[in-house]
Amino acid sequence: MRPLHLGVGLLLGSGLLGCRSRKAEPPAPVPPSLTLVAVGDILMHQDVKRAAELDPDGFPSLWSDLIPVFKGADLAFGNLETPIAPRTGRPGVPFQFNAPEVLPAALRASGFSVLATANNHAFDQGAKGVRETLERLRAEQLVAIGSGEDQAQAERLQILERQGIKVAFLGFTDLFNLDLNHRASEPWVRPLDLEPALQAVREAKGQADLVVVSLHWGNEYQHEPTKRQKDIARSLVAAGCDLILGHHPHVLQPVELLESGGRRAVVAYSLGNFISNQDRMYRADLFPVAGGDNRDGAALRVRFERPPGPEGQGRVMLAAASAEPLWTENNWGVPATRREIRVIRVAAAEARVRAELDRLSDVVEGPRLQPDAAQRRKAILEKQEYLRTLILRRRRVAGIVGEAFVSR
């Protein structure tokens, strides 16, 4: 098995178009395909919750840029790095999270379908908090992977079918802040023990077309995966895993393609933070670029296809993989303003700001938009600085995730 470094927008496989003098044959039918979008850590810092409380549209307003991305996919995944236990738990405090009861409905309305609940914060509100979290997610028809009301439920294979393709989900955590896995009959969070994990993947491969594994692992704030992560990834892919979705470091790590037995798999070692209040003081004009790494994220988009085989439909294969840079805007420290935290799509924001600068700089349209010359110059300078931030973040994400996966 070897890592593959292929150019992307990462379209895998190619067809040859021949020149014919005869009448063109009708195009071949489009093979069934499934798209999965995944993001990293959904963190419920106090200011994140406060920003949602202050916005009339609540939590969905914090990531409204991404809602079309989630809803446009067949499956949307995120790492739920918090219990949702307002009834049985305590109010969240630093490093011990709890989310409000409105969060599951907000996630569902935003397009999320699958959430990892095996992570180091799963037991932040005790065993009762695990149980309440799962109840609330089920009520919103959100699939939780990696935890359960008992060990059997935590280890139960979750299989979802979309576009006629069956996808099996497994979730594990390599880290616990508090490990309350005492009795198999009580709430359980599935640990990452390699041999049982490999066996689970093998069994899942026998029941589904695709196997997706969520892993809470790695070292916080380190951009390079450890040797342990790489070894585990290769073993899981060899056992039949098609996609590894990693999280925990709170910063991005590379995306890699691995091959085993003629099958290609995608490994995202860490998708970084999706929403958080980390690095809230960062400003591109005051700090080195690394000072904003906790506010970088990526929306990983993976497409699988089932091409026709010799006896009908063939094996589902990886068709494309890409990572879209995300950035968490944060107005911390701005006096007399409402607290705002918002995840944006960097490329779209960059295009929008460039267009705004073009209009403001135009000799005719600029004065119409802002008649006061001094105010217009100030607006241009502010937008130029914001554009610089977006460019820096896009390049930073591409340099860490891998240039091949991040389109310009």
> 98: closest CA among 147, 46, 136, 139?
46
Cα R_g (the chain), whole angstroms = 23
SS3 128: helix
Tell me which residue has tokens 């303003």: 337
Q: Both 327 and 255 in a single domain? A: yes
39-90 pLDDT, tens per residue?
A: 999 999 999 999 999 999 999 999 999 999 999 999 999 999 999 999 999 9
Q: Both 376 and 323 in a single domain? A: no
In this prediction, what percent of the chain has a pLDDT beyond 90? 87
Interhelix angle 194-205/227-239, rounded to 10 degrees, is 30
> 135: closest CA among 147, 119, 121, 123?
147
Q: Both 140 and 234 in a single domain? A: yes
Report the CATH number at residue 94.
3.60.21.10
| Strands 2-4 vs 255-260: parallel, antiparallel or unpaired | antiparallel
CB burial of residue 387 (10 Å; 0-12, 13-18, 19+) = middle
Q: Both 186 and 304 in a single domain? A: yes
Q: Tell me, yes or no, whether 87 lies in a domain.
A: yes
Query: Does residue 262 come out as left (phi exceeding 0), alpha (psi in the -120 to 50 range) or beta?
Result: left
Q: Tell me, yes or no, whether 2 lies in a domain.
A: no
Range of the domain at 170: 31-333+396-405
Q: Both 363 and 328 in a single domain? A: no
- The pair of structure tokens assigned to 154 is 């935590």
Q: Tell me, yes or no, whether 358 lies in a domain.
A: yes
Q: Both 384 and 401 in a single domain? A: no
Q: Give the distance from CA 109 to its chain's centroid.
A: 17
Q: Both 35 and 155 in a single domain? A: yes
pTM value is 0.92
Q: Both 123 and 159 in a single domain? A: yes
What number is the average pLDDT over the span 238-249? 98
Q: Both 320 and 359 in a single domain? A: no
Is the CA virtual torsion 211, 217, 223, 229 positive or negative? negative
Is the CA virtual torsion 78, 340, 290, 276 positive or negative? negative
- The pair of structure tokens assigned to 184 is 């198999």
Q: Both 226 and 365 in a single domain? A: no
Alpha-carbon distance 34 to 165, whole Å? 7
Q: Tell me, yes or no, whether 7 lies in a domain.
A: no
User: How many Cβ atoms are within 10 Å of 83's Cβ, its own excluded?
Assistant: 30
b/e per residue 177-213 (b: at least 16 CB within 10 A): eeebbeeeeebbbbbbeeeebbebbebbbeebbbbbb
- The pair of structure tokens assigned to 51 is 């920003």
29-39 pLDDT, tens per residue?
A: 778 899 999 99
Q: Both 400 and 386 in a single domain? A: no
Q: For the chain, how many structural domains are there in total?
A: 2
Which residue type sits at 64? Answer: S
Q: Tell me, yes or no, whether 339 lies in a domain.
A: no
Alpha-carbon distance 399 to 401, whole Å? 6
249-302 pLDDT, tens per residue?
A: 999 999 999 999 899 999 999 999 999 999 999 999 999 999 999 999 999 999
Interhelix angle 103-110/126-139, rounded to 10 degrees, is 40
pLDDT score for 24: 72
159-201 pLDDT, tens per residue?
A: 999 999 999 999 999 999 999 999 999 999 999 999 999 999 9
- The pair of structure tokens assigned to 203 is 């069994």
Alpha-carbon distance 147 to 86, whole Å? 18
Alpha-carbon distance 149 to 127, whole Å? 9
Q: Both 355 and 270 in a single domain? A: no
Q: Tell me, yes or no, whether 5 lies in a domain.
A: no
Alpha-carbon distance 175 to 10, whole Å? 32
